[in-house]
Structure 1
Amino acid sequence: MKSHQKGTHVFETRLGKIMALKENGVIRARSIRYARSERFQRPVPVESLSDLLFPDKTPVCPQILSPLVEKMIGATPVEKFEPDESTQYLSLTLPDLISESKPLPVVVWIHGGSHEIGCGDLPTADPNEWVKEQRIIVVTVSYRLGLFGFLGGNEKRPANLGLFDIIEALKWIKGNIADFGGDAENITLFGQSSGGDAIAHLMISEGVEGLFQRVIIQSAPLGLRHKRQRMSIEFLKKTEVLKDETDVYKMMDEYGEYVPSVIRYGLKAAMPFGTQYGFPPLCTEEESLGKWQENAKKYDVLIGLNNNETAFYLKTSEALNKYFGKGFGLKILDKAVEKTTDLIYGTPARQFAENLAKGGGNVYLFRIHSTLKDNHIGAPHCIDLPLIFGNESAWQSSEMLRNIPWESIHENGQKLRAIWAEFARTGRISDHSEKPEILTIRKIE
């Protein structure tokens, strides 16, 4: 029988004692610092811990809330978060009553947010339901974002610091997860949107050998990864005036003035922060495809997207709906969603999967659809989050789910969580496994 009473649990680890909360059938150890950093410096791993108590607030990289995310996903409980430039924290969620005889598979959640917003511990990505249903361990990782983690490009402001943070988190997990009942030889990285982009690039990063065995890449905007160098250089130069600012709130208020123009750099300027080729730990862009193919056999890969990704942006625009919300205009808008979804997500995911398969990799490609009538938005960006993580209360104010019964989300989500957990355990998805009606999936040969 699983315990559902509140209580505490103390883990004895090589780093020291780590206190966790036991509640509702899971054990959760929150906001464990895995590294520290100075501004624009690489992270330094934490070697020991004093006894860790629950922090009053969740540490989060300084950022500006997105009005679109607040509308479509839900309001962020800002009173529960504390800005911290050195945002190297992780949290663990595992089933109550851990079996000591068989280590559990580990899923590491790398959150999305255009490399600019978010953190590892949001209510909309609470893994409780997944952990209880599938008896896996989920580790959620926070890392530096925006100006602090995904710009850079010179000696004083290095590029890819957010990637280096995640690598330090993976080293911490590899070295310590056994103390929490996890299998250090069965670690799956799971990321959505820019989190998926980060994971794809971790597959070709230096210093990750043996840190993970599988990846699940959901809705990664790989179509925006190409030829970003000029844009990044311009953005870096313009934000030089902010690099020594001590007031992070002022930095956040002002950096938007320097964001590159979408007109000049095309769609990629919609995500001005990102991973940068040619700087550690990455190879050059020209070498990247060959590097992915070379590493294809090292990782089992599950990659895919939602059928109407860009409806999240286009069909929620009041300006666009005013002119294209019905009749022939709606047909134009639907075609725009189809084309931009394919350009940014669909074709790049297929090409990525096919490139890995050519290298001998074990690769699955999936797509999530909407089967509901009268759902004008379809299956947009982020629709996978409530499916995988559940947590109905966190999604009550979501405009994206306004006309979708939670029963449909729960029924399809439970099956999807089982499929994703099967992949995390074995690297395979059986033809006989029960799949949700919203999912199409195939192995790439």
Structure 2
Amino acid sequence: MTSQQNFGTHTFHTSFGKILALKENGVIKAKSIRYAKSERYQKPVPVEYSSSESIFSEKTPVCPQKISPLLERLIGKTEVEKFYADESPQFLTITRPEIFNENEKLPVVVWIHGGSYEVGCGDLPTSDPSVWVKEQNIIVVAVSYRLGLLGFLGGDEKRPPNLGLFDMIEALKWIKNNMGSFGGDPENITVFGQSSGGDAIAHLMISEGVENLFQRAIIQSAPLGFRNKRSRMSREFFQKTEFLKNEADPLKMTEGYSEFLPSLMKYGLKTSMPFCTQYGYSPLCSEEESLSKWKENAKKYDVLIGLNNDETAFYVKTAEEGLYTYLHEKILDVIVRKTTESIYEKPANIFARNYAQGGGNIYQFKIHSKLKNNYIGASHCIDLPLIFENETAWKTSQLLKDLPWEYIQENGKKLRSLWAEFARTGKISDDSERPEILEIRKI
């Protein structure tokens, strides 16, 4: 067993090269490791072995993006000075327990962040896995990938779609090849994503080129109701942003596409997520083939899929202006229920039934709020502080303003234990303790 120190450095010796990591509060964190590089609108190219030591930057690299005022209210302020924009944002961060048995191979959880395929990155304070890693003796790898115009909108060979998916596949290849050097088990890899990150994972399961790269999937709050009948909207958005494709400054690109979003409103609710995976382009099958493809692949992956009971409540009930401000609470509750059902719940039910019919091992869950004075209930993203316990990072979140932090801690510890059990074994025992907020069943 290694000895624990509060602070210091550690060097990992890997087939990829030497990687410097930080020891901090019982974990070892290797930050911002570049797993691939890309030119604009090109597939990622894996990074070659380097004889020099890989040293992380003081600032965290992110794909160029616009700050989302809504997400800043929901989750918290972005300290922009701690990040720098990189058009080739293929980086990952590895968090491992400092104390562990050198002969043991730990289960590996790969975090695919959400953000509507438009914002975010893998390595944020609000998705810091340190508490989970220490508690459950697992390794968490957080992946960053291309977003928006650079990663999830395309329509021809010069601007191909799904480049962000190709980034994720390249990251999984790197993890498979190198995890042994960090004490991880390359044969026990679980991909774990929330919101668009969960949607991406569902699509990785039917992508070409992922054979044997992971064994399990945890899919939280995936907006699978937005995945269908998008081709006309994507084509129109692609054509309208054609003039931006050669803009030298990627930050100007992210500013430039916004003016066209109102013109897409005619396509309905899915306009709220203008970027997405696109069927009929590599590495995906056609939309018509997708359900049968999931059923066909069902025996390859253990799956845990679910949602929060009031997914859309934060957006509907805390809108600062517009129609929702003037509606009666009971009407708002109906809107929340209907939109949660159509975007998240019914599509997850269809996915789970279809997967079980294919012989897959699949569990389905729902998270509730049990506090009477919690006006918005179990809204989108409430699962994140439960898994990624970090009181300092979440202190400005309006999502949690009616929730005592002790409530998050108590329920979160039990939830983290169940999710880690699934990552280790692909099962959740009937005897395992459940948090009061959780419904879960094997399909």
Q: TM-score, normalised by structure 2?
A: 0.98
Residue 111 of structure 2 contacts residue 142 of structure 2 at CA under 8 Å; is this kept in 1? yes
In 1: Cα distance, 2:326 partner to 2:6 partner: 54
CA distance in 1, matches of 2:411, 2:16: 40
The corresponding residue for 1:207 is 209
Cα distance in 1, alignment partners of residues 276 and 293 from structure 2: 19
| Mapped contact 2:233–2:264 kept (Cα < 8 A) | no
1:365 matched residue in structure 2: 364
Does 2:383 align with 1:380?
Answer: no
Match of 1:403 in 2: 402
Conservation of the 8 A alpha-carbon contact between 1:151 and 1:160: yes
Corresponding residue pairs, total: 440
Deviation at 1:4, TM superposition (A): 3.7
**Between the two proteins, what is the percent identity of the paired residues?**
69
Amino acid at match of 2:36: A
Q: In the alignment, which residue of structure 2 is the partner of 1:422?
A: 421
More displaced stretch, 261-270 vs 304-313: 261-270
- Cα distance, 1:15 vs. partner? 1.3
Among 272, 275, 285, which residue is 1:273 paired with? 275
**For the residues of structure 1 that align with 2:34 and 2:206, how far apart are their CA atoms?**
26
Partner of 1:119: 121
Matching residue's letter, 1:247: D
* Contact preservation (8 Å) 1:231, 1:260: no
Q: How does 1:19-168 map to 2 (within 5 A)?
A: 19-49=20-50, 50-168=52-170
Is the 1:57–1:81 contact (alpha carbons within 8 Å) kept by the matching residues of 2?
A: yes
Amino acid at match of 1:183: D
Secondary structure at 1:21's aligned position in 2? strand
Task: Select the residue among 322, 325, 328 that pairs with 1:322.
Answer: 325
Amino acid at match of 2:31: R
Q: Find the counterpart in structure 2 of residue 441 from structure 1.
A: 440
SS at match of 1:41: coil
Q: CA deviation at 1:2?
A: 5.6
Q: Which moved more, 1:2-11 or 1:150-159?
A: 2-11
Superimposed CA distance per residue, residues 77-108 of structure 1 (whole angstroms, 9 cap, x where no aligned partner): 11010000001000000000232211000000
In structure 1, distance between residues paired with 2:358 and 2:176: 26
Off by >3 Å, runs of 4+ in structure 1: 260-263
Distance in 1 between the 2:106 and 2:265 partners?
Answer: 49
Local SS of the residue matching 2:399: coil
Identify the match of residue 169 of structure 1 among 168, 171, 179. Answer: 171
What residue is the counterpart of 2:256 in the other structure?
254
Equivalent of 1:298 in 266, 279, 300: 300
- Separation (CA, whole Å) in 2 of partners of 1:335 and 1:253: 34
Given candidates 231, 234, 239, the residue that maps to 1:232 is 234
| In structure 2, distance between residues paired with 1:178 and 1:260 | 48
**Equivalent position amino acid for 2:344 in 1:** Y
Compute the TM-score of the two structures, normalised by the length of structure 1. Answer: 0.98
Cα distance, 1:249 vs. partner? 2.2
Aligned letter for 2:268?
Answer: G
Letter in 1 for 2:381: C
Q: Secondary structure at the match of 2:187?
A: strand
**Is 2:217 aligned against 1:218?**
no
In the alignment, the residues of structure 2 paired with residue 312 and residue 3 of structure 1 have an alpha-carbon distance, to the nearest angstrom, of 41
* Letter matched to residue 18 of structure 1: I
* Contact 2:100/2:137 (<8 A) preserved: no
Q: Which residue identity does 2:372 align to in structure 1? A: K
Residue 240 of structure 2: SS of its match in structure 1? helix
Aligned-residue CA RMSD (Å): 1.0
Unaligned runs of 5+ in 2: none
Larger CA deviation: 261-270 vs 33-42: 261-270
